Amino acid sequence: MTLEESLTGKLGKNIASASDAELYRALLAYVKEKTNERPLTTGNKKLYYISAEFLIGRQLGKNLINLGIYKEVNELLEKNGKSLAKVADEEMEPSLGNGGLGRLAACFLDSIATLDLNGDGVGLRYHFGLFKQEFRNHKQYEVPDRWLSEDCCLTKTDVCFPVTFGKTTVMSRMYDLDVVGFKKGHTKLHLFDLDTIDENLVKEGISFDKTQIEKNLTLFLYPDDSDKDGQLLRIYQQYFMVSNAAQLIIKEQKELGHDLRRMADHVAIQINDTHPSLVIPELIRLLIKEGISFRDAAGIVTGVCAYTNHTILAEALEKWPMSYLNKVVPHLMPIIGGLDFGVVCAYHDNHNLNIIDGEGKVHMARLDMHYSHSVNGVAALHTKILKHQELRPFFENYAEKFNNKTNGITFRRWLMLCNPELAGMITDLIGEDWMYNAAELERLMYFHNDEGVLRHLDEIKRHKKEEAALFIKEKEGVDIDPESVFCIHVKRMHEYKRQQMNALNIIYEYMNIKNGNYPARPITVIFGGKAAPAYYMAKNVIHLILCLQQLINNDPVVSRYLKVVMLQNYNISKAEVVIPAADISEQISLASKEASGTGNMKFMLNGAVTLGTNDGANVEIRDLVGIENIYTFGKSSDEVINLYNTNGYHAIDFYNRSESIRSCVDFITSDELRRIGDDSMLRDLQDNLKNKDWFMTLLDLEHYSSVKETAVFDYQNRAKWTRMMLVNVARSGFFSSDRTITEYDRDIWHLR
């Protein structure tokens, strides 16, 4: 049967007369059929990648690419007066993640399948995801993200496990998502849920009764944990996730007839950050039930588990009070106690290694480091900081466990799908090999002085900027000019990522323009990102940006040189539109704080030039492209760490010493902005910047402004700029998640 016959059959009518929604459902069914023609990947050893988040993005376009039928489908729809882009727009974006960590898990699944590795993902099926961000009165509001629908990509299974919390036992249900690799490979993402969830529990915004576990367990990802019930709920979620994972693993091992004592030969578990850490005691508990001794079980589990650290931010390192764990998972407490006892005996001279600290808190990362055989950071600089600063006592005892795996991204989504024009140009120049081995992109260097190639690259960028401008006009109602330099700063809102520094620079530009000093070329600054609902400062930064957007875009003079856009509800779908349109990639975190970043890699791959600090994977980008093809600024991670250690940073000194910094910070509470915004929010933000500024915005602000000015000036020199673009694309092959996953398998999993 041809594609056309199959679709027509599913539609019960011809393609030309079908609606986009009907076509979406028909294509979904077609993709399921094609996927099931591919056998599931098998092997002697299987990986379970456990993660609280999988930010997988819309599935249709990616699946068509990976099945190798994108072009065929696209042409058939066009022939019938339909647009695949419009049909794909019918799909709701799965809301199963928060930011980089969840997106990494999604890129990894794509690469695991593509490399035909035997590995599945395990996570939770959140009904309302993180939350949907809405702007009203220049402020963020949170509402449920109602992404689940009848025709979504998940398949209900009849796999169910009992999960016990103290005196109550609930019955889980597994939902599966097919993960189809590029041209080959087929694995699964297993998402667990309860049949008893009551969506009507959610009343105002995203608040709900946090005590009724059977009804609320999987309503939201990262429910508000500012009170005790919220923290308990997170522990309930985490245990539910890992208990299901552990039971699934044991069930599959038994079905295969494998000896559970040899589990380390047949199973690898990757613990993505600390959320799945309870898998360690849970698996030990289940092995003990199978008749294995505690000691042996602990040894087996250590051989199976590997832990990835994603952050050094203290507030993100989970530690749960024993009393909370006692309430949720009393049956794990003897095991956690036993594991801690083993540590205390072995390392009695160093209390910093204890899993349970003197205040009775259980440190999840410490549990992971003692009882995993591998601990990895996510970029070279990050791993170095872990070894020599944050996790030094662990590195001293377990040097052999520590390793680096610099993050990566899947080029299927972040180039082929979102920028087919650039992907096509690359293939025309160097053939298709790069799709199978991203290092081949290096061959583009051959063209770095080829005027025709550079002009073509420039035309593609221009086209993507025009597309993004249309999208922004339609979705956000803001007019932007593709002639201007697009500086794009999209990522979660967090003080360490320093969106506030970019906002202060916008104020600086605004005042310059008001004084008749115009930038070398008009600038458009595009922001996007959600703030955690309880993170007041991050919400204040959003507020400042939205107020600046209002002030600047409506100023008849300034708006000719400067525009500001804050995208509402930044997600994968919006990322796919704006990243290919970027001229300048803003990666301006305080050095040492961004573990890796993956946004930086997506921009580089799409020919943007990085304006960044020497942080996370920016350092590796700089080493790959050379200092002449990146704009770096700011204090180094060593200097920053030293400032923290010596309490040597005082924002107010920078404020007092520099007239220019002072006028920018003062402007936050100017009459102009207070007319638009909320007095107390603006004042609190200003106070924080002057008197606290934990992430040292004022330390790097002037250097940032001057280097950004240089970048905008250089942009005028099109020959120079387009060559920089080409070098960035050519050297981005290292950041393919296929490379990252090959290294995980080589050094940690050994699946082959």
User: Which residues have a catalytic role annotated?
Assistant: 310, 491-492, 497, 598, 602
Asked if 415 touches ligand PLP (CB under 6 A), the answer is: no
CB of 603 to ligand PLP, least distance (A): 9
Angle (nearest 5°) at CA 557 between 553 and 559: 25
Determine which helix (DSSP H) or strand (DSSP E) holds 120, and give its type and residue range: strand 119-124
**Where does 13-83 show beta strands of DSSP type E?**
46-50
Q: Which stretch binds ligand PLP (CB under 6 A): 252-260, 451-459, 592-600, 667-675?
A: 592-600
- 10 Å Cβ neighbour count for 195? 11
Interface residue with ligand PLP, options 597, 607, 612, 634 (CB under 6 A)? 597
CB of 499 to ligand PLP, least distance (A): 11
Could you say which residues in the range 482-501 bind ligand PLP, by CB under 6 A? 491-492
User: Which of 495, 712, 687 has its CA nearest to residue 593?
Assistant: 495
Q: Is 571 in the site for ligand PLP (CB under 6 A)?
A: yes
Per CB under 6 A, which of residues 193..252 are in contact with ligand PLP?
Answer: none
410's CB contacts (< 8 A; 6+ apart) are 106, 107, 110, 111, 114, 736, 737, 738
Spatial distance between the Cα atoms of 433 and 439, rounded to a whole number of angstroms: 9
The total of other beta-carbon atoms located within 10 Å of residue 73's CB is 21
Positive or negative, the CA dihedral 269, 273, 274, 275 is negative
Which lies closer to ligand PLP via its Cβ, residue 100 or residue 276?
100
Of the two residues 66 and 737, which places its CB atom closer to ligand PLP in the complex? 737
Residue 733 is a binding residue for ligand PLP (CB under 6 A): no
Q: Are 604 and 732 in contact (CB under 8 A)?
A: yes
* Residues in Cβ contact with 751 at an 8 Å cutoff, skipping those fewer than 6 apart: 43, 45, 46, 47, 117, 118, 119, 268, 745
Torsion angles phi and psi, residue 167, rounded to 5: -90, -10
Stretch of residues binding ligand PLP (CB under 6 A), selected from 131-139, 148-156, 212-220, 591-599:
591-599
Instruction: Choose between 491 and 498: whose C-beta lies nearer to ligand PLP.
Output: 491
Structural contact between residues 111 and 414, judged by C-beta atoms closer than 8 angstroms: no
Q: Which stretch binds ligand PLP (CB under 6 A): 561-569, 595-603, 669-677, 712-720?
A: 595-603
* Shortest Å, Cβ 299 to ligand PLP: 37
Please report, as a single letter, which amino acid is at residue 484. S
By C-beta, is 492 or 498 nearer to ligand PLP? 492
Shortest distance, position 484 Cβ to ligand PLP, whole Å: 22
- The stretch near ligand PLP (CB under 6 A) out of 215-223, 286-294, 556-564, 594-602 is 594-602
The nearest distance, CB 572 to ligand PLP, in angstroms, is 5
Asked if residue 575 binds ligand PLP (CB under 6 A), the reply is: yes
Residue (74 or 737) nearer to ligand PLP, CB: 737
Residue 598 binding ligand PLP, by CB under 6 A: yes
Closest distance of CB 179 from ligand PLP, Å: 18
CA-CA distance, 736 to 243, in Å (whole number)?
A: 32
Binding residues for ligand PLP restricted to 65-124, rule: CB under 6 A? 99-100, 103
**What is the distance between the terminal CA atoms of the chain, rounded to a whole angstrom?**
36
Are the CB atoms for 389 and 641 separated by under 8 Å? yes
Q: Which is nearer to ligand PLP, 61 or 99 (CB)?
A: 99
Cβ proximity of 422 and 415 under 8 Å:
yes
Q: Report, in Å, the least distance between residue 259 CB and ligand PLP.
A: 41
Task: Give just the sign of the alpha carbon dihedral 459, 462, 468, 469.
Answer: negative
- Nearer residue to ligand PLP within complex by CB, 165 or 527: 527
Among residues 548 and 617, whose Cβ is nearest to ligand PLP? 617
Greatest CA separation found in the chain? 80
Nearest distance, CB of residue 103 and ligand PLP, angstroms: 4
Other C-beta atoms lying within 10 Å of the C-beta of residue 656 = 12
Q: Nearest distance from residue 107's CB to ligand PLP, in Å?
A: 9
How many residues touch ligand PLP (CB under 6 A)?
Answer: 12
- Residue 419, interface with ligand PLP (CB under 6 A)? no
Do 276 and 49 touch, CB atoms closer than 8 A? no
Q: Match 């009695």 to its residue by tokens.
A: 348
Kindly state whether residue 572 participates in binding ligand PLP, applying the rule CB under 6 A: yes
- Which window, 385-393, 568-576, 631-639, 654-662, contacts ligand PLP (CB under 6 A)? 568-576
* Token digits of residue 221: 């990802």
- Cβ proximity to ligand PLP: between 53 and 340 the closer is 53
Q: Which of 94, 181, 599, 607 binds ligand PLP (CB under 6 A)?
A: 599
Say how far apart CA 503 and CA 509 lie, in whole Å: 10
Residue sitting closest to ligand PLP (CB) = 599
Return the range that interacts with ligand PLP (CB under 6 A); candidates 134-142, 262-270, 569-577, 671-679: 569-577
CA–CA separation, 294 vs 284, rounded Å?
7
Binding footprint of ligand PLP on the chain (CB under 6 A): 99-100, 103, 491-492, 571-572, 575, 597-599, 602
